Structure 1
Amino acid sequence: MSHLDQLPRELVSDLHVRAAHPLSGGDSANAFRLETPAGPLFAKTMPHAAEGVLPVEAAGLEALRAVCPEEVRVPRVRHVSEDALVLEWIDEASGGRDAATERSFGTGLALIHRARAPHVGWLSPDLPERIGSAPVDLTPTDDWADFLLRRRIEPLLREAVDAGNLDPAASGLLASLAPRAAELAGPPEPPSLVHGDLWAGNRVVDRAGANWLIDPSAFYGHREYDLAMMQLFGGFGRDCFAAYDETYPLADGWHQRVPWYQLPPLLIHAIRFGGGYGGSVMRALRRLG
């Protein structure tokens, strides 16, 4: 069964797709391996996606690809529309990651973060303002600490409380931390291009041992945003963080700031999945108090 009828017609026509094989994984999209005259490609389709979701992801991939060093690769975008995104195929390794792979990724990510970024906020004024499927305010600013608190943590916390997935006491805890927002965000640094959703599943190692970044929610912000996300669910070893720090040394106290930077992804998970994520938000807030 070719499954071509599950793909947009213009995609099949533009890329001369011969067959499509469904892939597992993903909770909000359908994934396929496409067979084309140019070789296999990866396709993600979202028939009912909010406007701009896939074009924003494609722009994030292209931004990362433009600055990625040899240590980290980013798949080339072959097709993008409101309901489909097609990328070059990655032959993913089945085995574990070794120290060399971890160090290479840490070095590569540090070099991405060192690339010049113009401001905190959006990648382009021509793109919808969203992180993943969620609308956000990405108006450019030079005040990262205020951006993180006012435009990311506070709105997400209100949404989580309103959804009934977070103890209302979280509002008071955050209010007590708000005057310390600049301290909690750490010393001012030049903005970086951040991946924005850097958990282990969005870092792929191919059969040749090369690291790849996929599925970004990219914007210009503080690099500790990515590093905190990397520690939320595990999957990155000590060698990775050591190589990062050797390449682009982190400011003193960055470990103590991790709970603050983990609040956005924890809040998003509380909103979407409920369960124990609300409790994780409360523990992070109390650790910071």
Structure 2
Amino acid sequence: MAKYRKSRAFAPKGFFECEGKGLKWLGEAQAQGGPRVVDVYDWGEDWLDIEQVYSCSPTPKAAHDFGAALAHMHDAEADYFGSAPAGYDGVCYFGPLQDPVPMDTGEWTNPIDYLGEGRLLPMVRLGIKRGELDDKDLAMTKEVIDALPDLLGPAAQDKPARVHGDLWSGNVMWTKDSGETEAVLIDPAAHGGHREEDLAMLNLFGMPYLDEIIDGYESAHPLKKGFADRTTIWQLYPIAGHCVFFGGGYVSEYRAMCRSLLA
């Protein structure tokens, strides 16, 4: 297999180790039907060597198969909401290679506390620190957090899933390397989270054959009633992150999403 080196000078401490161990952790689920994950060869302070994957266009069948495989990966579970990848005890990260920010780890036992304390509040406070968000955004975020028991409904009972954590379309590669078109996962922010997180991320910036992916997912693990209505909840964290990284129109988008949930 050809190698691809991902690198960045002066990367934050543990960044590539976390990504490498995250890929390996997600890859463990392949034994129970999880999706293909790029092989990891080695890493250092400012580099990560992974398998070279050659891309192609997706197909409806490959999308359906990926959805089912993603459900099996989530079913591999995690110890807690907020768990780091197995074998990693440093700082976890979320965001683009040039500007990743710390992503809190912890041992939350329910998705409400995890999403509020472990994801939304830290990211919004970072947005305030960087001058992109303000105290009114924090207050509105706290209102959303207070409403989470009602907003999440039956999904609040789900167990911690083994999630990719940054599953936008750019981190799902399609390849025919094995002879048949299939999805391969790259660039995770892997952690113990809620299965609807990854599905909401797929929806966030557009994903080919998303309906087929969801159909495949539900063929392996039916989602709790009202899943589609909860998509915005799980998109709050990545959009708050985009406020931190890029500002601009993402700020008004985050505010509109909060208002829609509170309406």
Same fold (TM over 0.5): yes
Residue 70 of structure 1 and its aligned partner are, at CA, apart by 5.2
Matches within 5 A, 1:149-168: 149-166=116-133, 168=135
Which residue among 190, 193, 198 is the counterpart of 1:226?
198
1:87-166 matched pairs, under 5 angstroms? 87-93=50-56, 96-121=57-82, 122-124=84-86, 126-132=88-94, 133-166=100-133
Alignment pair present for 1:273 and 2:242: no
Give the length in aligned residue pairs: 249
Q: Deviation digits for residues 181-228 of structure 1, max 9, x if unmatched? A: 233343311111000000000001112312100000000111111111
Name the structure where helix makes up a greater proportion of residues: 2
Task: Tell me how far apart the structure 2 counterparts of residues 218 and 91 of structure 1 sit (CA, whole Å).
Answer: 23
* Greater C-alpha radius of gyration: 1
CA contact (8 A) 1:52 1:127 kept: no
- Tell me the distance in 1 between the aligned counterparts of 2:38 and 2:88: 22
| Corresponding letter in the other structure for 1:215 | D
Inter-CA distance 125–88: structure 2 relative to 1 (3 Å threshold): closer
CA distance in 2, matches of 1:255, 1:170: 25
Q: 1:74 maps to what in 2?
A: 37
Q: Is the 8 A contact 2:14 2:90 kept in 1?
A: yes
Structure 1 pair 99–271 and aligned structure 2 pair: CA distance change class (3 A): same
Point out where structure 2 has 5 or more consecutive residues left out of the alignment. Answer: 95-99
What secondary structure, in the 3-state scheme, does the structure 2 residue paired with 1:231 have? helix
TM (normalized to structure 1)?
0.81
**C-alpha distance after superposition, 1:262-284 (max 9, x if no partner):** 01100111111111111110111
Identity %: 30
Contact 2:22/2:188 (8 A) holds in 1: yes
Structure 1 gap segments, 5+ residues each: 1-38
1:192 aligns with 2:161: yes
Distance 1:250 1:76, change over 3 A: same
Within 2, Cα distance between the matches of 1:263 and 1:169? 16
CA distance in 2, matches of 1:138, 1:279: 28
Maintained 8 Å contact 1:187/1:251: no
Paired residues of 1:71 and 1:104 also in contact (CA < 8 A): no
Report the TM-score, using the length of structure 2 for normalisation: 0.89
Structural RMSD (CA): 1.7
Q: Would the alpha carbon gap of residues 144 and 70 (structure 1) be closer, same or farther in structure 2, given more than 3 Å must change?
A: closer
* Residue 256 of structure 2 is aligned to residue 283 of structure 1: yes
How far residue 153 of structure 1 moved from its aligned partner, in angstroms, is 0.2
Is the partner of 1:146 in helix, strand or coil?
Answer: helix
